A and B are shown apart, each in its own frame.
Chain A
């Protein structure tokens, strides 16, 4: 490279230089069309529970089942399943023992955005996995793209009482369609440091008013600890906050979308957290960063308003605080209420284009509801259960966790699970609204003036929805 550069004083051959330039420019353009690997992870992977950290060997998604369906091995049917849940072999073995006619081909094609990009590519190419692991908030997008099979034809409608109502609402369409089998959930609760609460005489708050007062009281006594760390820029956390307050940002009716991001509950939530941040009584460090991890480990944050997958996650990042944490229900907007919302969790969905929808549905149903394997998912892979059977099982909820001072952690989250508001809807362009929200709120966090970000996001979302061909409802 350098020989040519040092020898040819350029100006004699503009033609060749032009060609070389065009070539480099072409590289720029082509590069833009390509790789999104490291990018999408950070943006859409906010709900990637503790399980996400274990990445099992990246199998290449050749997904050949689309071309060569079924009956390859005598009477056996192959079902390809994409999932990032680690150690899936345990349950696959059990499944195949119980269902000798089906062979499961498990592929881990990465998590979050990576997998969705791959899935969309596979759908374009017409070689799809039969079953794929999709988060609740992404389901409506895949439904709108026509990528998912309505599994009511395979007996799914009878499962309404099998799964937690909050999760079931998220997989159900307006006219009783069912697009996925709830695999795990993330009902919201509150993790708190009992030792810090005791030291500063803070009562466990049951309402948001009490919580705000506690934040002020704590701050008056110490400058080392914040009652909590608010993360409005994390759209997953923020959605859970809106959801719990009763906000209804999106109503979907066929191809009509009603967008109301700055309704009363949403503005209330924005003003509440913005006010606490502006008063300096809660911190606002971005979450899932080394600094944030350290905040928990060093005792900078006294609570975490967090979902059911958080307790095991916290154990991994805050080892020094072993035994000091406790769990309580999420504070309420109205005294005496018990409303929760959901952050994270995922489904198994049957992908349109599969040649074996019947078997695929059977696999998805078994993995998400069969008693023994779901029990294993809860204890081995640490998925927070989606089935009522497990959520009501004393054997499961009665487990005492030493990190939480021997408290029965699952019991509290199981209760939260039953209290998840079932009216909340995700839009068919959820990743986009999440991104618009983060863009809008990011620069406003320091000042605490969050409500205008709601309005700004609403404008961008409406513009996007119109571009996508949706009718905007009033």
Chain B
């Protein structure tokens, strides 16, 4: 009898130990492949680039340690700060327009009941699936003054066609491409957040006689805050990294987009046109730092306000 009883007890103990070990190990096994790749392709290059940013590799004189010279040079580099300032101004307008549209679309689709909403959702999301270079090429064609349809459209309406690739319109034109590409992506994040809002809240509000508009203002938007925060931070970082669109349009509009139009474009050209990898590394770290500061400042401000 006793043996019969003790045997299963034994077994439960060992299995539970084994399963405990297994359970403890499981997360590491799952994230393991990622961590390896992350260390190899992200952490190591970052360390190497950081190290490299303290050297100068000159055509005459070779590689020398220069301390913080590259960073000092970047702080005095008006082209770099012009580019940073340009994307920040660009972002303030573009991110607000894009996220307003995303939120409106998400709320609209969430309200729809028929199958049509699937069509809308997919249609708005689809541009995100188009590679940014392809998107920029496509829009570049639409913008062009002789072969694109915009001059014809303007003609039909009877207004003079704006030159969308001219210096005064270029930021608008790029903003349009970026918004078109990312409005759906942000919409999906916001839409998912909408779905987690319990319907009972709306039912209660309805009983209290709240209008649809009041419901949106007092229930939906406050509960969307985390999703809006997230999409805003992503968008701030994305804006600072603005690259593929201006790079692609540059060939079409050398009068409007120079090699230091955005910080990333500038860093890339320093690295691979001028072969000054050390300076490019320093510039890249400063861009990263700016993205960090802006994102954190945004989170700080937006959380402060409501506590």
Task: Give the size range of A's interface with the partner.
Answer: 35 or more
Chain A 432-454 interface mask (CB, 8 Å, partner B; 1/0): 10010011011101100000000
Q: Are A28 and B240 in contact (CB under 8 A)?
A: yes
Chain B's interface size range is: 35 or more
Q: Are A29 and B287 in contact (CB under 8 A)?
A: yes
Most chain A CB atoms below 10 A, which of B43, B274, B285? B274
Give the distance in Å from the alpha carbon of A33 to the alpha carbon of B288 in the complex.
11
Which applies to chain A's interface (DSSP): helix, strand, loop or mixed? helix
Interface window among B15-23, B92-100, B112-120, B229-237: B229-237
Interface string of B242-268 (1 = CB under 8 A from A): 011001101111111111100011011
Task: Check B147 for interface membership: any CB of A closer than 8 A.
Answer: yes
Q: How far is the CA of A238 from the CA of B72 in the complex (A)?
A: 34
B303 x A10 contact (CB < 8 A): yes
A24 near B: Cβ within 8 Å?
yes
- CB pair B272 A32 closer than 8 Å: no
Would you call A95 an interface residue if the criterion is a C-beta within 8 Å of the partner chain's C-beta atoms? no
Known: A26-B46, A28-B237, A39-B269. A442 touches B256 (CB 8 A): yes
CB proximity to A under 8 Å, residues B52-108: 56, 58-61
B273 touches A291 (CB 8 A): no
B229 to chain A, nearest CB (A): 6
Contact across chains for A32 and B280 when beta carbons are under 8 A apart = yes
- CB contacts (< 8 Å) of A289 on chain B: these are 144, 251-252
Give min CB distance, B291 to chain A, whole Å: 5
Task: Using known A-B contacts A9-B225, A36-B272, A435-B273, determine if residue A470 contacts B240 with beta carbons closer than 8 Å.
Answer: no
Verify B295–A21 contact, CB threshold 8 A: yes
B283-300 contacts to A (CB < 8 Å)? 283-285, 287-289, 291-292, 295-296, 299
| Separation of A113 and B274 alpha carbons in the complex (Å) | 11
Q: Is there a chain A Cβ closer than 8 Å to B26's Cβ?
A: no
A297 to B133: give the CA distance in the assembly, Å: 26
Contacts of B150 in A (CB 8 A): none
Residues of A close to B275: CB separation below 8 A: 120, 141
Q: Do A6 and B58 have beta carbons less than 8 Å apart?
A: no
Main DSSP-derived SS at the B contact region: helix
B177 CB-CB contact with A under 8 Å: no
Q: How far is the CA of A417 from the CA of B257 in the complex (A)?
A: 35
CB-CB under 8 A from A438, the residues of chain B are: 254, 258-259
- Can you offer 11 A-B residue contacts whose CB atoms are under 8 A? A2-B227, A10-B299, A21-B295, A27-B42, A31-B241, A32-B288, A39-B268, A39-B269, A255-B60, A435-B273, A438-B254
Known: A3-B192, A10-B303, A40-B273; 14 extra A-B contacts, CB below 8 A, are A2-B189, A2-B193, A5-B193, A11-B307, A18-B296, A22-B292, A31-B241, A33-B45, A233-B254, A289-B144, A290-B141, A290-B147, A431-B274, A432-B274
> B residues touching A (Cβ–Cβ < 8 Å)?
41-43, 45-46, 49, 56, 58-61, 133, 141, 144-147, 167, 188-189, 192-193, 196, 225-227, 229-230, 233-234, 237, 240-241, 243-244, 247-248, 250-260, 264-265, 267-269, 271-276, 280-281, 283-285, 287-289, 291-292, 295-296, 299, 303, 306-307
